[in-house]
Amino acid sequence: MKSLKNKSKALRILLYAVLFLMTAIMIVPFLWMLSSSIKVDKEVFDIVNFQWIPDTPKWSNYIEIWTKIPFARFVGNTVYLTIVVTLLQLFTSSFAAYSFAKLDFKYKNILFFAYIATIAMPWQVYMVPQFIMMRSFGLNNKLMAMIFLQAFSVFGVFMMRQFYLSIPDSLCEAARIDGMTEYGIWWKVMIPLSKPSLATLTIFTFVNTWNDYLGPLIYLQSNEKKTIQLGLKMFIGQYSSEYGLIMAGSVLSLIPVLAVFMCLQKYFVAGVASSGIKG
């Protein structure tokens, strides 16, 4: 019995050690980024005399980044694009998922599996035809092109459908008996019960859109339309790069992502199906 307790204690210590190591591997790059954001360029990669906090922190990096490039405009473009795309994906994904989960129509399963099968196709395969299509619509160098292309999410439909399947059909049947339309059931019954799933989709969509680099690089050329990720590239020159300003901009770009995650994380583990029955 004592040997079993010792083995269990040893396994627990080993598990904590592995978790600590993984946490350190994940956190150290962020700490290095924070440290580099208050350094001059020559101190960023100085391994011999490395300091987490330099003797003379260059806090002016966080001020200079707003004046050296139109960073405020880049932030505004990114905020606008991210919010619009996130709201559209929440609407289209939940609406389509309700149809696939709770409605009966011809070829429903075939259409769903055909739609989901597109996940297996990398975006790089069809990004050129998409660009040609957007250019033919006159949307080149416009944020609207990014909005149109990202307004629908196959992953969002799949995730929301799986969640809606866990909600008892009896709730929808009761609503139909009371005379509620399918639109009303989706809006007044399904949406209030799907906060955890909507929160998860919000975080995924927000992070992916906010951090997207290749999409804006293809469609946006003028400085008036660029996003944060493209703006940070302006500090990378042919012969030198201003790493202190790049890191300061990266730190600032992380703040909205962290804020969204902190606000929505409590919904991740919430139970929905059981609470819906009790309600």
DSSP codes, 1-56: -HHHHHHHHHHHHHHHHHHHHHHHHHHHHHHHHHHHTTS-HHHHT-STT--SS-SS
Is the Cβ–Cβ distance between 13 and 19 less than 8 Å?
no
Give the pLDDT score at 270: 53
Is 67-278 a CATH 1.10.3720.10 domain?
Answer: yes
* Amino acid in the structure at residue 54: P
Residue 52 CA neighbour count, 13 Å, CB half: 4
Is the Cβ–Cβ distance between 157 and 93 less than 8 Å?
yes
End-to-end, the C-alpha distance of the chain in Å comes to 48
pLDDT in tens, 55-104: 888 888 898 889 888 999 999 999 999 999 999 999 999 999 999 998 88
For the chain, residues with pLDDT lower than 70 are 1-5, 237-240, 268-279
Give the pLDDT score at 77: 93
pTM for this prediction: 0.84
User: 114: closest CA among 100, 126, 127?
Assistant: 100
Give the pLDDT score at 209: 93
Q: Which two tokens stand for residue 118?
A: 């597109």
- Cβ neighbours of residue 57 closer than 8 Å, sequence gap 6 or more: 38, 39
Beta-bridge mates of residue 241: 236
- Report the C-alpha gap between 236 and 259 in whole angstroms: 28
Beta-bridge mates of residue 236: 241
Sequence-ordered alpha helix ranges (H) in the chain: 2-36, 41-44, 61-68, 71-102, 108-116, 123-136, 143-150, 154-165, 169-177, 182-185, 191-193, 195-210, 214-219, 228-232, 243-264, 273-278
- Cβ neighbours of residue 78 closer than 8 Å, sequence gap 6 or more: 210, 227, 228, 229, 253
